[in-house]
Structure 1
Amino acid sequence: MHLIRGVGAQKLADAKRQLSLPQIVVICGSTRFMAEMNEADLRETGDGKIVVKPGCDLKSPHALWSDPGEAEALKARLDDLHRAKIRLADEVLVVGDYIGDSTRAEIAYARSLGRPVRFTHPEVDPDA
Structure 2
Amino acid sequence: MATWTLHTEFKFDAAHFIEGYDGKCGRMHGHTYKVHIAAKSHKLNPSKYLKSPDMVCDFKELKWAAADGKKGGFDHAVLNETIPVATTAERIAEYIHKETKKRIPADIDLRVTVWETESSWVEYTDQDV
Task: State the TM-score, normalized to the length of structure 2.
Answer: 0.30
> By percentage of residues, which structure has more strand?
2
Which protein, 1 or 2, shows the higher relative CO under an 8 Å CA cutoff with sep ≥ 6? 1
TM-score of the two chains, using structure 1 as the length reference: 0.30
The structure where helix makes up a greater share of residues is 1
